[in-house]
Amino acid sequence: MRICMPARALPVHRWGGLEFHTFDLARALAERGHDVTILTSAHSAKTGWDQMAEGLRVWHLPKGAPGDYSFAFFQQLKSLLLRLDASQPFDIIHAQEFAGLFAGPFPGRFVCTIHGTMFSETPLDRRFWPHLICRQKLAALWRHKPRIALHPFFKRMLKRADRLIVDSDFTWREICGIIPRARSKMRLIPLGADFTRYAPANRSAPSPETAHAFTVALLGRIQEMKGLGMAMRAAALLRERGIDFRMIIAGAGDYSESLRRAITENGLQKHVDLRGPVAPESLGSFFLESDVFLFPDLTQPAFGLVAIEAMHHGLPVIGARSGAIPEIVTDETGWIYDPWNPAELASLIGRLARNPAEVEKKAWPLSSAIACYNAPRMAADAEKVYLELAATA
């Protein structure tokens, strides 16, 4: 099949879960013999198209902000898609997240992968909104006004798509709440990662001679809504209780300065290490420094690919009870807590620090627990959706 995948960004733009998911899916589809063309935003070092692998091509738009949605992105993407499709029609147009807002219509061949909604991973989410004070609500409305303006186009895209691929039961429920009739055309395909991208995980139980402070890893965008402020409040409680612990935090974002102030004000300089961005090739060593991974998101994550990455490296996950996190972090792979209750988080981390056997019990079977979250399975499931759609054309 000739497949076109409009997408906002790839790992060449930024190192995020959606970016790696898009690239991993495209490459896995190409490995299955499909001809895949990715249309994505501009990049300073890349113009036109680049051959990235057998059967996989990438077109970078000539103008606009690299890695971001913009008027120029949607305008150019629609024009380029129509031009390429007119030259040699694609069998499937598979838009990633919001990249398909203004694409189409392509009756009988338009597929959209949906990760949450316009608001589920923002302060505008109905479950996050009540926790904000008036000033914060006004700031959130102003900052996310483009999403508010685009929401009618998001609903239109849901209606126009022939198939909607959702990555979690959480996203399924959210879409049904927006467009109840969409249920019949939704297909659930959990995300999958290309684990060959990482160095092999090689964890071993520490000996008494190499014992270290109980270490908690956090990885992702440094934003307040990611729960980092709550994590610092939990860390302060752990310090007061005399728990021997460390938190290592990797990532970048607009909350970095506030996070540094929280570390200083709570006397956590010896306990919390703010690392900055970590390159994909260094993720293995970052994870292997730690005992558990903390996923403290206050919003509603649509999946949680970072939790799968942590589990791949042998880390059980402490996950917030929000969005799709409980679908990934089960009793077999970790622990769930109330993300708005730092005392509960502190008590949980303190208990695990005192009982390493509880952590070890969940660490060793992780490879089998996440075996299904791989790119080849994800591509095979997407292919079934394409063939189902082609059969009804």
Taking only the tens place, the pLDDT of each residue in 127-152 is: 999 999 999 999 999 999 999 999 99
Pairing of strands 48-53, 56-60: antiparallel
- The answer on 359 and 257 residing in a single domain is yes
Q: Which of 49-58, 110-119, 384-393 has the lowest mean pLDDT?
A: 49-58
What's the pLDDT score for residue 201?
A: 55
| Alpha carbon distance 387, 45 (integer Å) | 36
What's the pLDDT score for residue 308?
A: 92
Residue 94: name the closest of 385, 370, 340 by CA: 385
Q: At 210, is the pLDDT very low, low, confident or very high (cuts 50, 70, 90)? A: very low
Q: Which of 87-96, 120-129, 198-207 has the lowest mean pLDDT?
A: 198-207
Judge whether 162 and 111 are in contact, CB under 8 Å: yes
- The answer on 357 and 309 residing in a single domain is yes
Q: Which residues contact 319 (CB under 8 A, 6 or more apart)?
A: 295, 304, 307, 325, 326, 328, 329, 334, 335, 336, 337
- The answer on 218 and 310 residing in a single domain is yes
Residue 378: name the closest of 37, 17, 13 by CA: 17
- The answer on 200 and 186 residing in a single domain is no
Alpha helices in the chain (DSSP H): 17-31, 71-87, 134-143, 145-160, 169-178, 228-240, 256-265, 283-287, 305-312, 325-328, 342-354, 356-363, 366-369, 375-392
Residue 170 maps to which CATH number?
A: 3.40.50.2000
> Is the model's pLDDT at 211 over the cut of 90?
no
Q: At 200, is the pLDDT very low, low, confident or very high (cuts 50, 70, 90)? A: low
Cis peptide upstream of residue 6 (ω within 30 degrees of 0): no
- The answer on 299 and 185 residing in a single domain is no
- The answer on 179 and 300 residing in a single domain is no
- The answer on 177 and 146 residing in a single domain is yes
pTM of the model: 0.90
- The answer on 333 and 238 residing in a single domain is yes
Domain of 152 in residue numbering reads as 2-194+374-392
- The answer on 321 and 384 residing in a single domain is no
Structural domains of the chain, count: 2
Pairing of strands 272-276, 245-250: parallel
Q: At 100, is the pLDDT very low, low, confident or very high (cuts 50, 70, 90)? A: very high
Taking only the tens place, the pLDDT of each residue in 308-354 is: 999 999 999 999 999 999 999 999 999 999 999 999 999 999 999 99
- The answer on 387 and 317 residing in a single domain is no
- The answer on 169 and 34 residing in a single domain is yes
- The answer on 94 and 233 residing in a single domain is no
